[in-house]
Chain A
């Protein structure tokens, strides 16, 4: 993750140069410092009491650390249910997206077939289309078919929507990666009598690993944080993902008054994508900066 950093620190320390950079450092420190203040305050608030939050004494922990805030919201406020729902939606959607889009993207990149040009253009165009352009007819069809009345079919509908709305982005993203993999591997495999489908899964697919991981992180973060589609299509409290659950908790705050619990819930929602980010940030930064064309 710190590769660039290491290259820089090889440079000898040069006081004049560092002084010239001082205003830059100041801006960066202020920015990151502000972010840190927010996070530290919210973590401290999640471990204190509602009374301490309003008195402004959350850092004193006069009554100790209240880890029970976490267990309380986890069980009583259904955060565990929301958490498991989001996990399920995100993992299944990401897996399906790779299974559908990796082969799709590969044939679109490698072969010309009737309509392939038009498909590519439309895929690129739909990455810029707001999601509300598709949800009204889809809602109409799905609700009329009665798919939202049953819990299992409602879950399937949600996952299908998460997958469908991310197909254009995932396919386009992966095309750039397949472009960089030489055709000679498949040609060699074909000479050895390997079927092209087998050659794809055994040879090309593993070679595109970097791109697959990057796009999966983006998709996971997106589905984990998804709000709009679930707001429309989730028909029961039991099926809510974290974003929707947290939103309903906030709206209930004026009645429950459990502020420290709210901040604990915020941290629970925040942690999975944060951990994923810290562990895999080189894929995120590389993926964003690698694929953009000026």
Chain B
């Protein structure tokens, strides 16, 4: 057993050290920093000024920050309904015995392995382009001129363009997770239901959906984690400066950390940036708690 002990030490030490130094310690320090006013990110600790919950209060009062949370809430709720709903639909279709399932599955998952910058470039420079873009060409070919004239990248439509393109990429990932859940439901449930005369729609609502409760819970929590890290898509849709229609907390935090080129309103403060991070964490914890309360495990064995 002595030899095992030497192995445990040799194997566990590097990983634990790295993990504590680069994850645990910084997380604790970020929480600590969120209560201080820190003008420059590189300021030494003696220059920090204790600010209590002042950072949080000034954040709440800031209109751009409010806008960033409204956008995040919209992405979480509307984007969540679209992403989880469409991915479940695709999963059910794929599990209903269509031919070429492997191919469809792989093709729908594909956007997840592509760089978000490359994906967003395709959407912005091609799909939504007002002169030669897909949307314009597609709707004018159908003679739906009012739809063809929509300026996707300007004003009111920019947020929706952002949301659609983001969800399109995420759907494949959630679809695979739904599929793995459906695969664990025994075929005999469906056979028994079919004998009793339940059609596919009824089977879906009375067998598939209730038995997917656990996966549903996991997916909502995973969606909240993905959404809280929302950054690059917003940056690509508004590359120059944060824009109220597309700003999200991560973008606001980045500007607070390094300053924005042309937003006077944003004064650099690393303490406030840390507070944004803490609030994003609290958002995930909140969703986690609510989802675990609402969707209870009811010991269904299958």
Contact of B102 among A2, A190, A225, A242 (CB under 8 A): A2
Measured CB to CB, the nearest residue on chain A to B232 is A227
A111 at the interface (CB under 8 A from B): yes
A-chain residues with CB within 8 Å of residue B197 when the two chains form the complex:
none
Per the 8 Å Cβ criterion, residues 133-155 of A in contact with B are 133-140, 143-144
Give complex CA distance A114, B276 in Å.
35
A61 at the interface (CB under 8 A from B): no
Interface string of A86-112 (1 = CB under 8 A from B): 000000000000001101101110010
CB distance from B292 to the nearest CB of A (A): 13
Contact of B134 among A37, A136, A196, A263 (CB under 8 A): A37
Per the 8 Å Cβ criterion, residues 186-204 of A in contact with B are 190, 195-197, 200
B59 at the interface (CB under 8 A from A): no
B186 at the interface (CB under 8 A from A): no
CB distance from B69 to the nearest CB of A (A): 14
Q: Is the CB of B117 within 8 A of A42?
A: no
Contact segment of B3-11, B74-82, B155-163: B3-11
B274 at the interface (CB under 8 A from A): yes
B-chain residues with CB within 8 Å of residue A1 when the two chains form the complex:
102, 106
Give complex CA distance A115, B12 in Å.
11
Interface string of B212-223 (1 = CB under 8 A from A): 111100100100
B63 at the interface (CB under 8 A from A): no
Interface string of A113-137 (1 = CB under 8 A from B): 1011001001100101111111111
Q: Is the CB of A281 within 8 A of B106?
A: yes
Contact segment of A24-32, A67-75, A208-216: A24-32
A-chain residues with CB within 8 Å of residue B294 when the two chains form the complex:
none
CB distance from B226 to the nearest CB of A (A): 10
Q: Is the CB of B103 within 8 A of A2?
A: yes
Q: Is the CB of B236 within 8 A of A247?
A: yes
Measured CB to CB, the nearest residue on chain B to A217 is B113
Give complex CA distance A31, B87 in Å.
12
A15 at the interface (CB under 8 A from B): no
Question: Which 3 A-B residue pairs are closest in the complex by CB-CB distance?
Answer: A104-B15, A294-B214, A289-B180
Q: Enumerate 6 A-B pairs (CB-CB under 8 Å) in ascending A order.
A: A103-B10, A134-B23, A137-B30, A165-B23, A246-B121, A284-B113
Other than A108-B12, A130-B281, A294-B218, give 7 A-B pairs with Cβ distance below 8 A: A8-B99, A27-B93, A28-B104, A134-B22, A168-B23, A270-B114, A294-B184
